[in-house]
Amino acid sequence: MQSEPIAREIEIAKKGSVFHSDATQKLLAFASLIVMFIVFSLASPNFARFNNIVGILLSTAVNGILAVGVSFVIVTGGIDLSIGTVMTLSAVMAGVVITFWRLPIFLGLLAGVATGGLCGFVNGTTIAKMKIPPFISTLGMMMISKGLSLVISGTKPIYFIDTPAFRKIAMGTVFGIPYAVLIFFCSAIVANLILTRTVLGRYTFALGSNEEAARLSGINVDRWKIGVYTLGGMFSGLAGLIMASRLNSAQPALGQGYELEAIAAVVIGGTSLSGGEGSILGTVIGAFIMSVLTNGLRILSIPQEWQTVVIGVIVILAVYMDIIRRQRR
């Protein structure tokens, strides 16, 4: 059958289109990132300065880590709206341990990540065991963690003035590059390995692709789902630490709105909200597109309000391209 002309043509046409569609979105996203970079560099001499580039990298770090974490959840076909405020709660908990209790810094870091993980675990449990839709459970968690941050901190920022080393975590530099940026890249690499090489990653895709099939294959669906949300929460915790270190304080009122920016980055990166596909590289590119755009528009003195409008348009365009790409398949 293979030797027949039409059959072969069909095979080739299929393979061609698959390659085409899978590679394009990432190429397209990457190309638009480059184009944006060039356009902004031409438009303003300040854009391509080393300091500004570092600024872009630094501002991508927090949103990027959040986005990388929530990518896992989105690949399962779920959503996590609580990542922004869980990030804040984690920062507050780090503040409590380090500033209030005067315990060693590393315990504070541990507390931050653990807080994020715990919130994720609760999310996962309500979703998997109590069958509450992810949108609702995580919306609840968003409010809970926001409220807890305010209660625990007494609505006031917690400063890390007595522990100068804490600020080094994000803001220390090698060759002028802040640690925060390196931490972001490292966590993206780790996340990519988890998603593509480990059992957890495989089941993340399986859940998003066909949860019932995964269940019938003997996979303990509930347990892995809880695992995915916990992992996502831990990334939020890490983002909270970077944030706190950058600001040298835990700001309990901050955080809401970050979840939507992170989700936007994931979507721009070509991960489908209906689950089953996505990549960390795409998410990283998506996060960069958002911060390059914000930064570039600011340098061109475009008012903040308009920046938001532009990003909104970009999100819609990105998803639309994804849909067109799928139809052609």
As a whole number of angstroms, the distance between CA 84 and CA 238 comes to 12
Residue 161 binds other proteins (CB under 8 A): no
Site for other proteins in 216-245 (CB under 8 A): 216-220
* 197 forms part of the interface with other proteins (CB under 8 A): yes
Nearest to 78 by CA among 275, 280, 257, 213: 275
Q: Which stretch binds other proteins (CB under 8 A): 5-13, 65-73, 162-170, 254-262?
A: 5-13
Nearer to other proteins among residue 9 and residue 42 (C-beta): 9
| Residue choice 208, 233, 269, 270 for contact with other proteins (CB under 8 A) | 208
Say how many C-beta atoms besides its own lie within 10 A of residue 315's C-beta: 19
Among residues 49 and 329, whose Cβ is nearest to other proteins? 329
Kindly indicate which of the ranges 96-104, 140-148, 207-215, 263-271 contains the residues binding other proteins, using the contact rule CB under 8 A: 207-215
Binding status of residue 206 toward other proteins by CB under 8 A: yes
**C-beta atoms surrounding 218 within 10 Å:** 7
* Given 80, 259, 277, 322, the residue binding other proteins (CB under 8 A): 277
162 contacts other proteins (rule: CB under 8 A): no
Q: Cβ of residue 94: shortest distance to other proteins, in angstroms?
A: 28
Question: What CA–CA distance (Å, rounded) separates 17 from 244?
Answer: 46
Binding residue for other proteins, selected from 168, 215, 298, 325, defined by CB under 8 A: 215
Residue 173, helix vs strand vs coil: strand
Q: Is residue 74 a contact partner of residue 266, using CB atoms and an 8 Å limit?
A: yes
Structure tokens at 41: 């560099």
Strand 158-159 with 177-178, pairing: unpaired
Q: What is the CA radius of gyration of the chain?
A: 21
CA distances from 289 to 117, 265, 311 (A): 28, 8, 9
Interface with other proteins (CB under 8 A): 1-2, 4-7, 9-10, 12-14, 18, 197-202, 205-206, 208-210, 212-220, 276-277
